[in-house]
């Protein structure tokens, strides 16, 4: 029953959702575990991690919701969380930041980190 309840609380979203200054707070409160990829179009490491985030969104669908926040278009949220380097993945659990991953990491390392939260 507990497993069924957990599945019901996180919808099966199999690709990253767009997160903005306007919807950030509501998004991270709506889902138990959200990982927000803070990125910019000009950032080569951000472009390199993007397909990994896409894969993880599919693989963790129903357990973790992934979001993408363009820091150039959403400076308020970037400033609020003190984003100094990108890519930065904010790990949000029950609406609060519990960890962050800064820089381009291999998929296996990201999975290890994510596994400790899901």
Beta-bridge mates of residue 35: 66, 91
Of 53, 54, 65, the closest CA to residue 105 belongs to 53
Given 46, 53, 91, 114, which residue is catalytic? 46
Residue 38 falls in the annotated catalytic set: no
Q: Give 46: exposed, middle or buried? Use CB within 10 Å, 0-12, 13-18, 19+.
A: buried
Given 33, 34, 38, 43, which residue is catalytic? 43
Residue 43 falls in the annotated catalytic set: yes
> Which positions are annotated as active-site residues?
43, 46
């Amino acid at each position: 029953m507990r497993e069924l309840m957990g599945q019901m609380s996180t919808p099966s979203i199999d690709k990253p959702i767009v997160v903005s200054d306007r919807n950030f707070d509501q998004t991270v409160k709506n889902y138990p575990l959200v990982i927000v990829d803070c990125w910019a179009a000009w950032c080569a490491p951000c472009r390199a991690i993007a397909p990994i985030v896409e894969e993880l969104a599919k693989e963790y669908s129903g357990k973790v919701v992934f979001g993408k926040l363009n820091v150039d278009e959403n400076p308020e949220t970037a400033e609020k969380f003190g984003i100094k380097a990108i890519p930065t993945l904010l790990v949000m659990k029950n609406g609060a930041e519990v960890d962050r991953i800064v820089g381009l990491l291999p998929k296996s390392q990201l999975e290890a980190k994510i596994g400790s939260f899901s």
